[in-house]
Amino acid sequence: MKACKVCGRIGERDRCDEHELGERPRGRSFDRLRLRIAERDHWTCYLCREHIDRRLRHPHPRALHIGHVVSRTAGGSDDESNLAASHAECNLAMGGG
């Protein structure tokens, strides 16, 4: 038996049904999600509050990254309300990936 990493409930897995992470978006659906979040956040990094240049692409350090406001390891979800636009270097400096 294991305890849920988020709420401590005892069960078979390290996350209870309520806190299961589920599938993360990939491919085109992730591209649309990234754009939706960047637009919602007005292309502003939530960590340093500076503008994100939409023309920059990976691996440029100032390119768009999508970060978790509350990390997944701290119980945060992949829900859009927990995701925010950031620069790659800002997000990676915070330990994001």
- Per residue in 30-74, pLDDT (tens digit) is 789 999 999 999 999 999 999 999 999 989 999 999 999 998 888
Asked if residue 3 belongs to a domain, the reply is no
CA distance 75 to 19: 7
Asked if residue 21 belongs to a domain, the reply is no
- Provide mean pLDDT across the span 6-20: 68
CA distance 86 to 51: 9
**pLDDT at residue 21 is higher than 90:** no
If one counts the domains in the chain, the total is: 1
**Assessment of whether the complete model's pTM goes beyond 0.85:** no
Question: How much of the chain exceeds pLDDT 90, in percent?
Answer: 51
At residue 23 the predicted structure's pLDDT band, cuts being 50, 70 and 90, is low
**What range defines the domain where residue 60 resides?**
27-97
CA distance 65 to 15: 26
How confident is the model at residue 31, as a pLDDT? 87
